[in-house]
Structure 1
Amino acid sequence: MKKLLDLYYRLLRFAITLSMAVLCIPVTMQIMARYFDFVPRYIWTEEIARFCFVWVIMLGAMIAVRDGTHFDLDVLPHGRSPRVEGAIRLFAHTGMLVVALIFVHYGWQFVEFGWYQTSEIFELPMTYIFIAWPVTGLTWLAFLGEKVAEDIRLLRGHALPAAGDAP
């Protein structure tokens, strides 16, 4: 399962890189159109930029959960033993699981809401944007499952893997 999650993680990193590259094109065109008269002022650039921006945010959130950089805050003290550390991390990850389930449940309702809607300019199905929420929630669930397994190992008194073993 870890190899499959590693592969998915690499795919997400490629997707966010591609989304950022695509996002740069319409935004650059919009900026250049403001300052140079010879650059046409296309209206579609706004819509494509918006689509890409939503996906960049959601892909970044997915990646950050795997990296442990999105919702992890140092509010709770670090445990003095692996068991206490495991309990603290399990508490934090349980809260994140609740948020992930909310994203899946209400995200799917969001998809159903936009099922037959299209964008104004390109007439792209709005589902292409709205699906980002449940996909993000499902991805968080997968990555958090891996983290909860680590937390349970800590609760049992086992040490965490070395930093070099991280994805």
Structure 2
Amino acid sequence: MKAAGFALERASDYLDILCRIIASCLIAIIALLAAAQVGGRYFIGWSPVWIEEMTRYCFIWMTLLGACVLVKRGEHAVIDVLVSALPRSLKSIHTALVLTVIIATSAVLIFYGIKIVGIVGKQLSPALRLSMAYVYLAVPVSGAIITVHCVVGILAEWRRGEE
């Protein structure tokens, strides 16, 4: 059990690093594309049609990978005014319940994300002629990564409760 938990923790850590690197690269790409579009429009009066589309797809991936990073750090949206007043044991239970709800939501993302990837697989984007499956794949991928992070978080809370 401990070996599986350790392996899952390592996987979660590696996924977090990967998400951070990819999201950072996507931010840089978005900035470069936006600058190229504005510069092209301003200086030569023309900018390629595909830039806006590529920027949008990079933004989708960046946002969903960023959500994975926030869940790993425990910085997802939360109102903790009442929770901060709870004793440690109840905080642990609250955290585990919140993470369980996030897992349930992630399961929906995975299930319907896979469904929609299958539906749009043959559809091509207008400007890039890219399969829309690559764009929609961000939904189940982020759902799976968030699930791994939450399971690791629940295991960590369980270990804290045993101590």
Q: TM-score, normalised by structure 1?
A: 0.85
Q: Which residue of 2 aligns with 1:121?
A: 127
> C-alpha separation between the residues in 1 aligned to 2:66 and 2:155?
23
Contact 1:66 1:144 in 2 (8 A): yes
Matching residue's letter, 2:114: W
| Offset of residue 78 of structure 1 | 2.8
Q: Which residue of 2 aligns with 1:112?
A: 118
| Offset of residue 39 of structure 1 | 5.6
The structure where helix makes up a greater share of residues is: 2
* Structure 2 unaligned blocks of 5 or more: 1-6
Which structure ranks higher in relative contact order (CA pairs < 8 Å, sequence separation ≥ 6)?
2
**SS state of the match for residue 125, structure 2?**
coil
Cα RMSD, aligned residues only:
1.7
Aligned residues: 156
Residue of structure 2 aligned with 1:71, choices 77, 80, 96:
77
> C-alpha separation between the residues in 2 aligned to 1:139 and 1:75?
28
* Structure 1 unaligned blocks of 5 or more: 159-167
Contact 1:84 1:155 in 2 (8 A): no
Contact 1:85 1:154 in 2 (8 A): no
% of aligned pairs identical?
24
Any residues of structure 2 matched to 1:91-102 within 5 Å, and which?
91-102=97-108
| Offset of residue 80 of structure 1 | 4.5
